[in-house]
Structure 1
Amino acid sequence: MFSAPLVLLGLLALPGLYFLLRLTPPAARRVRFPPLALLRGLATVERTPARMPLWLLLLRLLIAALVIVGLAGPQLHPPPALPGRGPVLLVIDNGWASAGDWAARRDAALQVVASAEQAKRGVSVLATARDASNATPRVQGVMPAVQAAQMLAAMVPEPWPVDRAGAARALRGATGDVVYLADGITDGPGFGAFMTALHPSRILSDGVVATLLAAPRLLANGELAVHLAAGGRSGRVLAETATGDVLANAAFADDEAHLALPVAVRNAVVRLVLTGPASVGGTLLLDNTARGGMVGLLAGAGNAEAPFLGSLYYVRRAVPLGSETMTGDVAALLAAKVNVIIAADAPFNDTQIQALRGFINRGGVLIRFAGPLTADAPDSLAPDVLLAGDRRLGGALTWSAPQSLAPFAAASPFAGLPADTGVSVSRQILADPTQLSPGTVWASLHDGTPLVLGRQMGAGYLVSVLTSANAAWSNLALSGLYPAMLGRLVQLAQGAPPKPDAPLPLAQALNGSGGLETAAGTASVTARELPDLMVSPEHPPGLYGGGAAMLALNMGGHVPPVVAAALPGAVAFDGAAEPLPFGPWLLAAAVVMLAVDLIISLLLRGLLRLRGAVVVALLLLVGAGHANAQDAALGTTLGYVLTGDAATDQITADGMSYLSALVSAHTSAQLGAPVGLTPGVDDISLYPMIYWPVLPGSAAPSAAACEALVSYMQHGGLLVIDTPGGDAGAAGSGAGFAPGAADAVQRDTACLNLPQLQPLTTDNVLAHCFYIVLDFPGRFVGAPVLIANEAARDADGVSPVIMAQNDWVGAWARDNAGNPEQTPLPDGDDQRILADRFGTNLVIYALTGSYKADQASLPALLNKLSAP
């Protein structure tokens, strides 16, 4: 078929062109004119001029034919999408696995409907997933194509698996030639029976496009690990806040990505999203089980960290994964804004008690373990009145034996935990039995003696564990129950956890594209049944419950494993209806033949020798190579050091590209596209500024790289050394985002012989060489920015190196659509604007040096001039 068939009428002119070319003699060949004597004896009989050679004539006719046919738009069509002649039954998978290619799936379905309309055939539609009302799939009877198109346009992927058994039942008695748009997966054991009942005449599928993230895990180092159960291996996982801001991202390695986030930042993440087409399988909602807290530890006296004997030795190891710990006195812990304070046999004075009561009322959790110091003089900071002294069980001087734990009550935060019969308590503090309040006993011994007391105070909780935090008074600290109980208590900082059998109503539901919507149904789950629940219209994925009792039901672990289906003869969606045009190839062939014709004509006329013809042909075929160094020499270009980490290199490239465009748009400098460099391999001498992102755990630079960087700095280059955050406890908002960053910088720069550095201040020309900036933020702010001291700068007063841990490229980076890729902390877009301004100053500083340094002395000069 042809897109412009009328152009083919030009073929009618080919016979006329044949005779025209046949009658037209070839151009005269140039020869040296011989002497007149050679003309003697020449015959005067008139001869017919030589005609064009037949092969050349055919070549030119072929060129003309190719041009005409190519301009007519020839197209190669695939086999027809509509077999048969009767009604068409369109079966479309619209479960969660179809969200990744839903646009292509719907377009293919609409093309099938359009073809049916042209053939004047009716259409019936069967969607294989149940709808939100849990209605089983059914065939929507034969309808006009226009009505079918409207139905398909309104159809969306559902956030649960398809119902193959229900769809197979719906196919009984259905008529029409079946066109099946498959999602490429089996979805359980019923796939074979479904395909037998379906008996498709044609299958359209892009294969397995489903993406599925498994439930996240908190690692011992505090990182959040995300496993990719299916698809999307080239993508990245984004950590998003409730407003959609991206706080961090990570690439997948061996199907797993690790997000290193400080606790405060991780607690602000509400969902993890896989880059690429939006889908419910590529979205993970986070509840309080994925969040942690800042846990402060303090002890009364002695070496609290002594192995096996210290009062905090077992506590530190039992703190839940994902929580950060710090030690200190009451004032230091409150100043650090911890969520939980665990006090091991620590008595408090009246001032400390007052401060701790305020901490609890504001939402904090105080967990107090007993011991000799608190047993002798109990204070008023307890859920109930405690008696002085302690109770001893077992031993040579007592008749009683150590007591084991009783089962936990349903109202206790420990409900659902198995009572470890191996736990025995030999010594404890006693609560006054005459003044016990209802509901304050959270754990007790088999004889009914309270072991753990707890009470809500304001927005927080006060907990007293009436035995020691180590193994001195009981073996609780040696049991597996100890970290489980401590985890429940630490979780109170996020609010009271849900009861195991309490119904949790659906608060927000995920749609098929991974977006949150207000729940419209009456679905509910319990904490006990949620781990084994499969998503369905009765239990859609989303958030159940409210407040601290909110739990997330995601797709990962709650749908059947993704297994590719055998679909013989399947055609891709984009190949089902789109014709393959080959007119451009015909036109290209005509151009090549025209070039050959030109060369032959020049040869026949003697204007080109054979050797020259070969040279011309080779010049047309061979092009010049591309060299980054040539671009840098001919224009102004920024560079950045390639780290070998694909994610970091992409972020750096995006950030440097945006900075180059920003500088070109707002200053007279016109920068080319930035270039990734490998020092020691590439020539780096032509770049005015090179950005070097140093990663924790990366390999140290080679000797050649060190030599190249040293030479670069010595000859006027500006090397900007930055990291994607800092160590835990480092200065600035990036603390904890890049553990090991300080050691990595020290290791990688050891061979550079860096000059003595000093903090960058607003007095430096870098702070006002274009914009006047009072701070130097990137994605993070607050870490010191270091610059060479005055003695180590060049003749123009320019530092050869600038060093920080503010992740400047993270704030500069934009995607192809111009959207920011990462969110600056803590001030978001306002901080990004300041980072852009500082980046502009960096480039101007690298290009112009200190020509604006006199601005620093301008106020003093004006004052001197105005003086009488």
Structure 2
Amino acid sequence: MLVLGPLGFALPWILTALAALPVLWVILRAMPPAPKQVLFPGVALLRGLLDRMPLAQRTPWWLLLIRMLAIAALILAFSGPVWKPVIERQGSGPMLIVMDAGWAAAPDWASRQSRAERALSDAAAAGRPAALLIADGQAQAGALEFAAADSLLAGLRAAAPVSWSPTLPENPAAALANQPAGELQTLWLSDGMEHANRPEWLAELTSRGPVSVVAQGHPLRALTLQAGDTPVLTLTASDAHPPAILAIGPDPQGIERELARLEPTEGATQDGVTRSPAQIDLPPELRNRISRFQIEGESHAGAVVLADERIKRRKVGLVGDPDRQAEGQQLLSQLHYLRSALGPTSDVVEGGLGDVLDSAPDAIIVVDQVDMPEVGELAEWVDQGGLLIRFAGPRMAADEELVDEPLIPVALRQGGRDIGGALSWGDPRGLAPFAADGVFAGLTAPEEVAVRAQLMAQPSPDLAGRTMASLSDNTPLVTRERLGEGQVVLFHVTANAEWSNLPLSGLFVEMLNRLVATARVTPSQERADSRETPFWNAEMVLDGFGREHPAEGLAPVPAADMAKGPGPDRPAGIYAAEERRVALNAGTEFRLASWPGAQVQSAQVLPGRDLKGLLLAAAAALLVLDVLGSALVAAGGGRWRRGGGGAAAGAVLLAMLALRPDSALAQEINPELIRAADEVALAYVLTGDDRIDETSREGLEGLSRILRQRSSVEPGEPVAIDPDNDDLSMLTFLYWPITDTQAPPSPQAYLRLNHFLRSGGMILFDTRDGDLTGVGGPDMSQSLRDLAAPLDIPPLAPLPDDHVLTRTFYLLEDFPGRWHGNPVWAEAPPADAELQDGMPFRQLNDGVSPVIIGGNSWAEAWAVDQNGYPAFPMGTGFDGEQQREMAYRFGVNLIMYVLTGNYKSDQVHVPALLDRLRVEEELGP
């Protein structure tokens, strides 16, 4: 490349053609060629005659200048000019390209590939061998193979970021053992983070030759989860302006969408990295539906935290005896101990049994209660999957009908057992070790925990199978029985320190949390939770861009490897062991990398601006001026004196000024309208109400997506239209929501709108009041009447069943939006339109109805948010989604009707035309 100041030329040899410009000047200067002087006596007879159409002997200087400039612009254009090109050092030895391919490289992966491809292409042109190291941990062990640079392009284009941190070989010297002779030039496309083995590789590469590092051009942001009593998300970012965190999950209709938005608090900054926490403080009903958290605006696996049991929060109902909770005895109440143990990890609801059942809890704890009036409702709740935990007490021990008490896991003896009383012979009992395969597996009972009294169970063959915890003398402490989909658990002691000191220990808190965690859990899942799982199977995995994919071809992951985080054999995703689910997330708290001894380039530095297009456009403009100038010369008959030449030059100068893009004479056209004409974009009218305008945009965006998925029409992004300022001639469809506050368009705007309607355009007026009775159709709202009065709207009528709009793409009987059951109005059919023999439909109107009016709020039915999920609810359950589907079908029919006219209606004439042709052929001429 030849560089002259800020200008570079990729093909400098073409510039040698500039030497021919003086020759061209001489050739073009003669018009026509100079005449030969011949002596002829008869010429004397012509003396005194005036030539009224003289020819110019020479081409005007300004016309020659235009032609020379046009040719020079063409020569410069084809020489590959680049403004401020990036000049890289070109060595003669081998080249190595190192690409960090972790999740942090995903946001600008395409530009990274382009940068590496450009370097390989330059190396191939110079005949230099090259090697490519994709730092994703999936490369085969051994030395890198140096080969022809162009042979590496296919592997580069097929590479993609992964959902774990970059991994480099441990021994850089061994990996570079096959390096050819010569100085090694390295291009390192870094993600900006510090990784294992990176310092060793940098030191090795700088010792072998120059290292150029292309730094991350996108702010580094990662999301991590710290589990605990109140789970906390931590947003680690290389900038000090953290965005919001979106909580995504299914809504009540089962559609994935944004459920909540968490704003990180101001965090601490250290070494250029800011860590901002965000507590997951959400209602349990909402929190338990969340499937993932994601940093707003980020599209990589490190910005995603998949939700599992660590973020779920159970709702626990506490039921006690309010008469025994006097103000002075609050600290002695059994509910006080339960409230203190469960409050940090669960949402606690207190009250009577009926009130607690109405709150739809996951677990209910009943303290020393017998003969409960709502026992039938409680039994039904347990049968449907609820967890009932009961604690013993003096009232249960004194109940004469304790043997017949319902919702008890084992039969009990009346009176209880006093182990450490004044009249007893024994000492208080400690706890026996917990079973290795039970819910309490892994917990250790402190030696100081002792039980002084308990309710005794009646001996039975199945008592051992129902015992979850026991005392040192093998008498039951906690028993359980399954009831339908739920379970009933009984602590044979009180929940306060009256019968034991168990509630004073941390073991009591852990036991309750373990039990509450089994709420709404199947027996098989509980078995998986209660023991160490040897292997985990991937159920769903994320790619480097944070997109979900089904897990295919992955081997089971040992439990010991799960603690290491994501890796080549265990991508970020959801892993299952029987019924248990655990999330493996890609995000980590990172440190920024430093590059001693390397030349660091910013990814924002562009390789230079290509001037070829601008020079070609300038050459074309100069050639147009040459045509205009030649026409002026021919019209002037060649009489070019100094004054005339100056006038012509001034005229051409004015023409050049008129061709300038920033000239006041040039018409300003909204570039969005040009794009709309090129991409068949759908348009909507701005009403001045931001909420309505945003709904219109989201609605047309949703309809455009459906059109791209289901038809050959591929609309671009929707276009916002201001009738007072925008030209409508390049549009075909206009959605106009009606509001009470929008101002009427100007007279000039009505002229544009009427021209739009007469030239084949359509306006869909949506009064959005289909949920109200008696509004819409010809009795349209006053706002619509005021806005539409100056428009050339033909007579309207409700859409008949055989209108072409019912069959342009889908067969429809109704045209619902967010609302349904309201009439939709279009141009009335001709008075003589009748059904003809052999025709299934009437021929209604020859063209497209310029206006469709209704009040079903179609934009709200079509609208999707930035994640592609429906923005507005419709109906309930399947019926609502079916209505949304029919709204989309109406939208597809409408756009097809606008773009194709009545071709579907014309198709019904084909049988009659074929019959007529057949009859004419039989009759002959």
TM-score using structure 1 length: 0.62
Q: 1:722 is matched with which residue?
A: none
Give runs of aligned pairs for residues 525-674 of structure 1, distance below 5 A: 525=559, 533-537=564-568, 541-556=572-587, 561-566=590-595, 568-571=598-601, 580-584=609-613, 620=664, 637-639=685-687, 654=698
AA matched with 2:174: A
Q: 1:629 is matched with which residue?
A: none
Q: Secondary structure, in 3 states, of the residue corresponding to 2:539?
A: strand
Q: 2:386 is matched with which residue?
A: 364
Give runs of aligned pairs for residues 376-415 of structure 1, distance below 5 A: 376-377=398-399, 378=402, 379-392=405-418, 408-415=434-441
Give runs of aligned pairs for residues 132-171 of structure 1, distance below 5 A: 137-145=141-149, 147-164=151-168, 166-171=170-175
Q: Deviations over 1:743-762 (max 9, x none)?
A: xxxxxxxxxxxxxxxx9976
* Equivalent-residue separation in structure 2 for 1:607 and 1:76 (angstroms): 32
Q: Deviations over 1:441-482 (max 9, x none)?
A: 333456655332224445433211223345655555555444
1:453 aligns to 2:479 (yes or no): yes
Q: 2:124 is matched with which residue?
A: 117
Distance 1:211 1:674, change over 3 A: same
How far off its partner does 1:207 sit? 1.5
How far off its partner does 1:525 sit? 0.8
Q: 2:258 is matched with which residue?
A: 248
Q: 1:745 is matched with which residue?
A: none
How far off its partner does 1:214 sit? 0.2
Q: 1:736 is matched with which residue?
A: none
Is contact 2:137–2:168 with CA below 8 Å preserved after alignment? no
Is contact 1:403–1:424 with CA below 8 Å preserved after alignment? yes
Q: Deviations over 1:213-250 (max 9, x none)?
A: 20265886xxx753323469557545246999523255
The number of aligned residues is: 698
* Equivalent-residue separation in structure 1 for 2:880 and 2:112 (angstroms): 42
AA matched with 1:510: V
* Percent identical residues: 25
Q: Secondary structure, in 3 states, of the residue corresponding to 1:214?
A: strand
How far off its partner does 1:195 sit? 0.6
Give runs of aligned pairs for residues 215-614 of structure 1, distance below 5 A: 215=225, 226-230=233-237, 233-234=242-243, 237=246, 239-240=248-249, 245-248=255-258, 253-254=263-264, 255=276, 263-264=284-285, 266-274=287-295, 278-299=299-320, 302=323, 308=331, 311-316=334-339, 318-319=341-342, 326=349, 338-348=361-371, 352=375, 356=378, 359-377=381-399, 378=402, 379-392=405-418, 408-419=434-445, 425=451, 427-432=453-458, 437-445=463-471, 449-470=475-496, 473-474=499-500, 476-477=502-503, 479-492=505-518, 493-494=520-521, 495-496=525-526, 498-499=529-530, 501-508=532-539, 510=541, 512-513=543-544, 514=546, 515-518=549-552, 520-525=554-559, 533-537=564-568, 541-556=572-587, 561-566=590-595, 568-571=598-601, 580-584=609-613
Is contact 1:305–1:313 with CA below 8 Å preserved after alignment? no
Distance 1:330 1:79, change over 3 A: same
Structure 1: runs of 5+ lacking an equivalent: 25-48, 627-634, 663-670, 677-686, 692-710, 716-758, 782-801, 842-868
AA matched with 2:142: R
AA matched with 1:286: A
Q: Deviations over 1:328-379 (max 9, x none)?
A: 76677667654323222332569836x6555445433221122333333332
Which of 846, 864, 867 is the equivalent residue of 1:814? 864
How far off its partner does 1:99 sit? 3.8
* Equivalent-residue separation in structure 1 for 2:449 and 2:690 (angstroms): 56
Moved more, 369-378 or 275-284: 275-284
* Equivalent-residue separation in structure 1 for 2:285 and 2:83 (angstroms): 59
* Equivalent-residue separation in structure 2 for 1:544 and 1:197 (angstroms): 38
* Equivalent-residue separation in structure 2 for 1:9 and 1:80 (angstroms): 25
Distance 1:774 1:413, change over 3 A: farther
Is contact 1:131–1:158 with CA below 8 Å preserved after alignment? no
Is contact 1:178–1:202 with CA below 8 Å preserved after alignment? yes
* Equivalent-residue separation in structure 1 for 2:688 and 2:649 (angstroms): 55
* Equivalent-residue separation in structure 2 for 1:340 and 1:358 (angstroms): 13
Distance 1:776 1:395, change over 3 A: farther
Distance 1:776 1:603, change over 3 A: same
Q: 1:88 is matched with which residue?
A: 95
* Equivalent-residue separation in structure 2 for 1:772 and 1:319 (angstroms): 56
AA matched with 2:306: L
Distance 1:363 1:812, change over 3 A: same
How far off its partner does 1:279 sit? 3.5
How far off its partner does 1:163 sit? 3.8
TM-score using structure 2 length: 0.58
* Equivalent-residue separation in structure 2 for 1:138 and 1:101 (angstroms): 29
Distance 1:165 1:777, change over 3 A: same
Distance 1:287 1:139, change over 3 A: same
* Equivalent-residue separation in structure 2 for 1:196 and 1:640 (angstroms): 61
Distance 1:509 1:614, change over 3 A: closer
AA matched with 1:525: A
Is contact 1:234–1:252 with CA below 8 Å preserved after alignment? no
AA matched with 1:141: E
How far off its partner does 1:286 sit? 2.4
Q: Deviations over 1:694-746 (max 9, x none)?
A: xxxxxxxxxxxxxxxxx95999xxxxxxxxxxxxxxxxxxxxxxxxxxxxxxx
Distance 1:141 1:19, change over 3 A: closer
Q: Secondary structure, in 3 states, of the residue corresponding to 1:452?
A: strand
* Equivalent-residue separation in structure 2 for 1:124 and 1:244 (angstroms): 49
* Equivalent-residue separation in structure 1 for 2:196 and 2:684 (angstroms): 62
Is contact 2:817–2:859 with CA below 8 Å preserved after alignment? no
Is contact 1:452–1:464 with CA below 8 Å preserved after alignment? yes
Give runs of aligned pairs for residues 755-834 of structure 1, distance below 5 A: 763=773, 765=775, 813-814=863-864, 819-820=868-869, 824=873, 831=880, 834=883
Is contact 1:311–1:344 with CA below 8 Å preserved after alignment? yes
Q: 2:904 is matched with which residue?
A: none
Q: 2:750 is matched with which residue?
A: none
Structure 2: runs of 5+ lacking an equivalent: 1-8, 33-55, 265-275, 629-642, 671-682, 707-716, 723-734, 745-768, 779-797, 800-811, 821-854, 891-925
Is contact 1:171–1:197 with CA below 8 Å preserved after alignment? no
* Equivalent-residue separation in structure 2 for 1:120 and 1:407 (angstroms): 74
Q: Secondary structure, in 3 states, of the residue corresponding to 2:442?
A: coil
* Equivalent-residue separation in structure 1 for 2:406 and 2:693 (angstroms): 58
Distance 1:78 1:760, change over 3 A: closer
Moved more, 118-127 or 617-626: 617-626
Is contact 1:305–1:311 with CA below 8 Å preserved after alignment? no
Q: 1:790 is matched with which residue?
A: none
How far off its partner does 1:489 sit? 1.1
* Equivalent-residue separation in structure 2 for 1:592 and 1:393 (angstroms): 107
Is contact 1:102–1:157 with CA below 8 Å preserved after alignment? yes
Q: 2:634 is matched with which residue?
A: none
* Equivalent-residue separation in structure 1 for 2:280 and 2:535 (angstroms): 29
